[in-house]
Chains A and B, each alone.
Chain A
Amino acid sequence: MGKQAFDEIMGTPGDTTARPELAALGKWIEDTPDAELRRRQEAAETTFRQLGITFAVYGENEAAERIIPFDIVPRVFLHDEWTRLSDGLVQRVEAINAFLDDIYGERRILKEGILPEDLVLGNAQFRPEIAGIRPPHGVWAHICGIDLVRTGPDDFFVLEDNARTPSGVSYMLENREAMLRLCPELFREFRVAAVDSYPDLLLETMKSVAPHGTGSNPTCVLLTPGHYNSAYYEHSFLADSMGIELVEAADLVVDDDVVWMRTIAGRVKVDVIYRRIDDDYLDPLVFRPDSALGVPGLIAAYAAGNVAIMNAPGNGIADDKAIYSYMPDIVKFYSGGECKLRNVETWRCREPQALKYVLDNLEDVVVKLVDGSGGYGMLVGPTASKQEIEDFRAALIAEPHRYIAQPTLALSTVPTMAKGGLSPRHVDFRPFVLSGSKGVQVVPGGLTRVALKEGSLVVNSSQGGGTKDSFVLMADQSQRMNAGGMSQTMGGMTQTSGAQTSGGNS
């Protein structure tokens, strides 16, 4: 195995005990036999299978459904770590919103030369059709999934911004359910911030961005491409937990710039659409004419201000990987302050000097297509074969503007169940940030993805990655640990176990 990485629970490489704040978790790991951890993990996966918490794998037959492997050892954020992260996330998402508003409006950032004009206006993710349209309340990136990685105690980096249709929030919620059921002792030991308010916050966000004059109870729907989509489970899960209709394009009709859904009692006006369909397929009259997934006339209704679409059409420009490298400048431009969350160093291959560096160091870097996703179309230099490297070299020389490159990072690890017992595996993290008319908020938690193969840095579920629950510890953790570590609450009464009856060590 290569160089050791920072471990979220065990701490700096070489440490044999857990980080001091997580001593109880370290003890839990030590005291719980592997067989027991494995049994609980299997119980969780059986439940996921029975509940159909699955994702479809493209390229296999239609019935192919898999569960995402679940790992029983949680990843933990200390309270102050989370506070810093969450400040940075709010700042970043506010900037993304401002950026989108600007790019499809005045374009100040281009006029001032912060970003090269062709990078934005010539970008495949830029939608000229949207220019001049302003979404209700000026909110664009209602739901952002910001992918983060960590390399050391204080080193968090943003890997990617997802401002289109980020997935994974259902796993965040289901993983927590599984952990509550299977490892309740951990929740007695640690005060973990709850994530189950997410659907309520999402619905609140939806209602808050309804077009002006809609009334107090806007009709919100979730638009899905249908049950063959890989994230369908999530779509239905979210609609279900918000108590709103899950609609397909065929359920909607636009008449006189108003969106209606077809019900058994006739048409009902729709005010807010959480769409989980890409821009390209949203409205065949504006984007791809061959799309059967879309709703003809939807964009016209949106432009007329009669419906809110979240995330706003055209958002792809904000999470494009070429734009990403400018994000520190973008944040600075709109917030006036330094970017609190760092970017991973990024070479833009469109720039000749950067290209030269990348070509000279292909064995050490990760090369990505600017419009790729899901772990496809990328080269991980250190683990790639000679042939793969040469193929990428040729592709880079032919179309350098399509690629960026980043150093391979020593992503942090978390102990994870492997064949021979617990063993460190690399993780990343996707928190979910909600923007409504009243501001930006972060749900205390997110989705931790884990590479199940030893040494692998690829965590995507489509590439065989798994997930873990992500604990965010609450502020008064230490008090609880000192005072209540041994007590059990039963029906409102507190019983102190053991012979010593002193109230802790205060």
Chain B
Amino acid sequence: MLSRTASSLYWLGRYFERADFIARLVEATVRLDVLSSQPSGDAAWASALAVTETDEAFAATGVGIGQRDVVRFLTLDSSHPGSIVRCLDMARNNAKAVRTALTREAWTAINRAWLLFENRATPGSTTSQLNLVEAVKNETRGFEGAVHRMLRNQTTWFIRLGQAVERADNTARLLDVKYHILLPEGERLGGAIDRDQWTTILQTVSAVTAYRWLYNDGLRPADVIDLLLARSELPRSLAASVEETVDVLNLLAKRTGNHGEADRMARMRASRMAKTRSGEVIASGLHQYLQAFIAENALLHGAIGRQFKFL
């Protein structure tokens, strides 16, 4: 496989995953803001910006924080590189560069997601915002389905590698920011807002039901953290993303004979992760742990690029 093709597939996986994540984040925040027992208002939108690390970029637009403008910024703003439309645009550009490697179904899903934003200038009402992010989620799900029906070869694995690396990053950010900055001053831990916020986190990663299945103890922050950090049954947990990265790199090594720094880094991280107890992490500082995880993930990303000679 061409190195350029491998690189485009990997980035395709990353950008599509990122678009999906932002769609979920927007949806969860809309719920948090509008539908919860005690609307949290602008604080919810501030935290959505913080999760994506775009608070400064948003501030630079000179617009005040509010649902409509933040949603527009995160979904439609083509001048903002982290918006869904830009992620989809980048995903589609990468997909176009490797059209020959994708099935029609996979390409069509990407193209359809991209077309959702055509001629769309405003986010519209809350309903139409929810419809839009729902549509994005549907297309990304369709894409995942298509990827799983492609030949099980390097093409699929590079896409999945990009997805896994991106997913690890996204979940770590979500956990970090929601845990540390969301609760307004003076608000009681375990209070209504706190509960809603933890529910939002679970919604963002589609894990509300999964949580109930695994923990029958009501909503406890420590359990939510445990689920997202250490339970590999949950596809979006850090543990699952880390395992997936190792698995996919193994498949690639077996097929291409290409084995190196990225494999070693990923394996070391996975074996460390297997011994991680979420309770200990919380006790010794979740924020530091997640920051280190995000940094290490970025190093792994660099190693992957070197190992497969991405251009």
B274, CB-defined interface residue at 8 Å? no
Instruction: Give the complex CA separation of A52 and B98 in angstroms.
Output: 13
Known contacts A240-B99, A264-B309; is A245 also within 8 Å of B2 by CB? yes
Task: Known A236-B100, A246-B100; judge A51-B108 contact (CB<8 A).
Answer: yes
B112–A262 contact, CB under 8 A?
no
Q: How close is A254's CB to chain B, nearest CB, in angstroms?
A: 16
Closest to A62 in B: B93
Contact with A along B253-265 (1 / 0, CB 8 A): 0001110000000
Complex Cα distance, B161 from A264, in Å, reads 15
Shortest distance from the beta carbon of B255 to any chain A beta carbon, whole Å? 10
Q: Does B293 contact A (CB under 8 A)?
A: no
Residues on B with beta carbons closer than 8 Å to the beta carbon of A262: 2-4, 309, 311
Q: Does B154 sit within 8 A of A, measured CB to CB?
A: yes
Question: Is the pair B99, A236 in contact by a Cβ cutoff of 8 Å?
Answer: yes
Q: Which of B97, B107, B258 contacts A265 (CB 8 A)?
A: B258
Would B93 and A245 count as touching, CB distance under 8 A?
Answer: no
* Given contact pairs A263-B2, A264-B256, A50 touches B100 in the complex (Cβ within 8 A): no
* CA distance in complex: A357, B309 (Å): 63
A264 contacts B308, C-beta separation under 8 Å: yes
Looking at chain A's contact residues, the main secondary structure is mixed
Q: Name the CB-closest residue of B to A243.
A: B100
A51 to B108, CA, bound (A): 6
Q: Which of B1-49 contact A (CB under 8 A)?
A: 1-6
At the interface, yes or no: A84 with Cβ under 8 Å from chain B? no
Interface check B122, CB cutoff 8 A: no
Separation in Å of the A440 CB from the closest CB of chain B? 27
Question: Would you call A264 and B108 a contact (CB within 8 A)?
Answer: no
Neighbour of B258 across the interface among A49, A239, A264, CB < 8 A? A264
**Interface 0/1 of A49-61, CB less than 8 Å to B:** 1111000000000
Beta-carbon contact of A264 and B93 below 8 Å? no
Say whether chain B's binding surface is mostly helix, strand, loop, or mixed: helix
On whether A250 and B311 interact (CB within 8 A), knowing A232-B96, A240-B99, A264-B256, the answer reads yes
Contacting pair B1 A264 (CB below 8 A): yes
CA distance A33 to B15 in the complex (A): 45
Instruction: Bits for A275-300, please: 1 = Cβ < 8 Å to B, else 0.
Output: 00000000000000000000000000
> What's the Cα separation between A251 and B89 when bound, in Å?
23
Q: Are B4 and A236 in contact (CB under 8 A)?
A: no
| Cα(A60)–Cα(B104), bound, Å | 27
Other-chain residue from B5, B100, B111 in contact with A52 (beta carbon distance below 8 A):
B111
Interface residue? B210 (CB, 8 A):
no
Say how far A325's CB is from chain B's closest CB, in angstroms.
Answer: 40
Residue A450 interfacial (CB < 8 Å): no
Q: Is the CB of B111 within 8 A of A50?
A: yes
The verdict on B292 contacting chain A, using a C-beta distance below 8 Å, is no
CB of B256 within 8 A of CB of A250, answer no
A227 lies within 8 A of chain B by Cβ: yes
Q: Within 8 Å of chain B (Cβ to Cβ): is A247? A: yes
Given A251-B2, A263-B2: A227 and B115 within 8 A (CB)? Answer: no
The verdict on A7 contacting chain B, using a C-beta distance below 8 Å, is no
What chain A residues lie within 8 Å of B93 (beta carbons)? 227
Query: Binary interface profile of A, 345-372, with partner B (CB < 8 Å = 1, else 0)?
Result: 0000000000000000000000000000
Tally of B interface residues using CB under 8 Å: 26
Note all chain B residues with C-beta closer than 8 A to A63. Answer: 89
Chain A's interface size range is: 20 to 34
Would you call A261 an interface residue if the criterion is a C-beta within 8 Å of the partner chain's C-beta atoms? yes
Q: Is the CB of A428 closer than 8 A to any CB of chain B?
A: no
Q: A240 touching B1 by the CB < 8 A rule?
A: no
CA distance A233 to B99 in the complex (A): 8
Q: What residues of chain B lie closer than 8 Å to A265, measured between beta carbons?
A: 1, 256-258
CA–CA, A232 and B100, complex, Å: 11
Judge if A469 is at the interface, Cβ distance under 8 Å: no
Within 8 A of B (CB), among A236-279: 236-237, 239-240, 245-248, 250-251, 261-265
Whole-angstrom distance between the alpha carbons of A227 and B97 in the complex? 6
Roughly how many angstroms separate A206 CA and B309 CA in the complex, as a whole number?
29
Please report the C-alpha to C-alpha distance between residue A63 and residue B96 in the assembled complex, in whole angstroms: 12
Q: How far is the CA of A247 from the CA of B154 in the complex (A)?
A: 17
A247 to B5, CA, bound (A): 9
Contact call B4/A251, Cβ cutoff below 8 A: yes
Q: Say whether, besides A50-B108, A50-B115, A264 and B100 are in contact (CB < 8 Å).
A: no
Give Cα A264–Cα B2 distance, bound, in whole angstroms. Answer: 6
Given contacts A250-B311, A264-B308, A265-B257, contact A51 B2 (CB under 8 A): no
A227 to B99 CA separation, bound complex (whole angstroms) = 10
Is the pair A261, B2 in contact by a Cβ cutoff of 8 Å?
yes
Contacting A250 at CB < 8 Å: which of B4, B115, B309? Answer: B4
Distance in angstroms from B115 CB to nearest chain A CB is 7
Contact across chains for A49 and B115 when beta carbons are under 8 A apart: yes
Within 8 A of A (CB), among B69-103: 89, 93, 96-100
Hey, which chain B residues are within 8 Å of A264, CB to CB? Answer: 1-3, 6, 154, 256, 258, 308-309
Taking CB as reference atom, which chain A residue is nearest B104? A51
Residue of B nearest to A51 (CB): B108
CB B252 to nearest CB in A, in angstroms, measures: 8
Contact A247 B2 (CB under 8 A): yes
Max chain B C-beta neighbours (<10 A), residue from A227, A232, A237, A245:
A227
Interface residues of B in 174-224 (CB under 8 A from A): none
- Which of B97, B100, B309 lies in contact with A240, CB distance below 8 A? B100
A64: min CB distance to chain B, Å: 12
Q: Using CB atoms, name the residue of chain A closest to B99.
A: A236
A50–B112 touching, CB < 8 Å: yes
The residue on B at minimum CB distance from A242 is B100
Q: Is the CB of A52 within 8 A of B107?
A: yes
Please name all residues of chain B whose beta carbon is closer than 8 Å to the beta carbon of A51 when the two chains form the complex: 104, 107-108, 111
Within the complex, the shortest CB–CB distance from B264 to chain A, in Å, comes to 18
Can you list, as one digit per residue, whether each of A38-71 has a CB less than 8 Å from chain B (1) or not (0)?
Answer: 0000000000011110000000000100000000
Which A residues touch B258, using CB under 8 A? 264-265
User: Shortest CB–CB separation between residue A232 and chain B, in angstroms?
Assistant: 7
CA distance A477 to B99 in the complex (A): 38
Chain B residues near A49 (CB-CB < 8 A): 115
A-B contact pairs, 11 of them (CB 8 A): A51-B108, A52-B107, A63-B89, A227-B93, A236-B100, A240-B99, A245-B100, A261-B2, A262-B311, A264-B1, A265-B258
8 pairs of A and B residues whose beta carbons are closest in the complex = A236-B99, A240-B100, A227-B96, A239-B100, A246-B100, A264-B308, A52-B111, A264-B6
Q: Known contacts A226-B97, A263-B1, A264-B1; can you find 20 more A-B pairs with CB under 8 A?
A: A49-B115, A50-B111, A50-B112, A52-B96, A232-B96, A233-B99, A236-B96, A236-B100, A240-B99, A245-B5, A245-B100, A246-B100, A251-B4, A262-B3, A264-B154, A264-B258, A265-B1, A265-B256, A265-B257, A265-B258
